[in-house]
Amino acid sequence: MVTGGSRGIGRACAVGLAREGASVVINYTSNAAAAEETRKACEAAGAKALIVQADVSDAAQAKALIEAAEKEFGKVDILVNNAGINRDRTIQRMSVEEWDTVVQTDLSSIFYTTNAALGGMRERNYGRIINMSSVIGQMGNVGQANYAAAKAGMIAFTKTAAKEFSRFGITVNAVCPGFVETDMVAALSEDIKKTLIGLIPLGRFGTAEEVADTVVFICKPSGAWYTGAQFSMNGGQYM
Ligand code: NAP
């Protein structure tokens, strides 16, 4: 299950997991055409793929999403909590709605999906939960208090869930990418992009595929001893 699997990092995770033989559930909220493209890419990799529209910031829809996956494939072994948005504004100018929407979409959603998937994972004594946090949750950033707080909250949630679930054979890890070339970063002005690249010792943004490779690694047997970890990948922007 990849939440926000229609585009960007989520799409790369869905396709990467499909290549490794996983059946994939692609969740999206509004861009059905993009979800369809991801489905085709997963099927081209030889996997079964199901698209489910659900707004994961809504508890009932997040629960229904997990139930739809369990109905189709019998279980959810891997949950990639990737769906996320940003609404950037300085704290002084930020509206309550901008705060709430980001915290609800990026942070509360992972409680909803994890809570819904936990029962099945416990029954089978196996699970891999990966939370797509961000370097911004580790270092903070001007104009991103809502996003930074949500992403930092994801790290704390990850550590707590890792401690609670380890006895059930379930690992929980956070992936913390720096700036990655997706629609989220494409929305920035060329000037801001240039400034940001200047802050990255390796001199470039990351790719969605690089992030997805780490997600796939965590799900393989070779990733089995990682839990409660933060996988920082940011071109050296934050050490
Ligand atoms: P993106 O290209 O903007 O794609 C966002 C994805 O999330 C889309 O699939 C979107 O679905 C989905 N989504 C948004 N709100 C949703 C909701 N309420 N319910 C279900 N799905 C929802 O973003 P991205 O850059 O790939 O980022 C993916 C994740 O990585 C996010 O959590 C982001 O914070 C994190 N991240 C990104 C970067 C970066 O530089 N790009 C860096 C660090 C961390 P639709 O297609 O239907 O809109």
pLDDT digits (tens, 9 = 90+) for 125-179: 999 999 999 999 999 999 999 999 999 999 999 999 999 999 999 999 999 999 9
CB 43 within 8 A of CB 49: yes
Domain annotation covers residue 173: yes
Q: What percent of the chain has pLDDT over 90?
A: 97
The whole domain housing 213 covers: 8-233
- State the distance from the centre of ligand 1 to the C-alpha of 83, rounded, in angstroms: 5
Q: What is the mean pLDDT of the chain?
A: 97
Q: What is the pLDDT confidence band of residue 190, given thresholds at 50, 70 and 90?
A: very high
Return the pLDDT at 130: 98
Write the residue with the smallest CA distance to atom 27 of ligand 1. Answer: 9
Domain annotation covers residue 2: no
Domain annotation covers residue 204: yes
Domain annotation covers residue 239: no
Distance between CA atoms of 134 and 175, rounded to whole angstroms? Answer: 7
Residue 206 beta carbon below 6 angstroms from any ligand 1 atom: no
- State the distance from the centre of ligand 1 to the C-alpha of 167, rounded, in angstroms: 31
Q: What is the pLDDT confidence band of residue 113, given thresholds at 50, 70 and 90?
A: very high
Asked if residue 187 has pLDDT above 90, the reply is no
Q: What is the CATH number of the domain that holds 158?
A: 3.40.50.720
Q: How many domains does the chain have?
A: 1
Domain annotation covers residue 192: yes
Alpha helix segments (H runs only) across the chain: 8-19, 32-44, 59-73, 96-102, 109-124, 135-139, 145-165, 183-186, 190-198, 208-219
Write the residue with the smallest CA distance to atom 36 of ligand 1. Answer: 134
- State the distance from the centre of ligand 1 to the C-alpha of 126, rounded, in angstroms: 26
- For residue 55, the ligand 1 atom closest to its alpha carbon is 19
Domain annotation covers residue 125: yes
pLDDT digits (tens, 9 = 90+) for 5-59: 999 999 999 999 999 999 999 999 999 999 999 999 999 999 999 999 999 999 9
pLDDT digits (tens, 9 = 90+) for 124-138: 999 999 999 999 999
Q: Which residues are catalytic?
A: 147
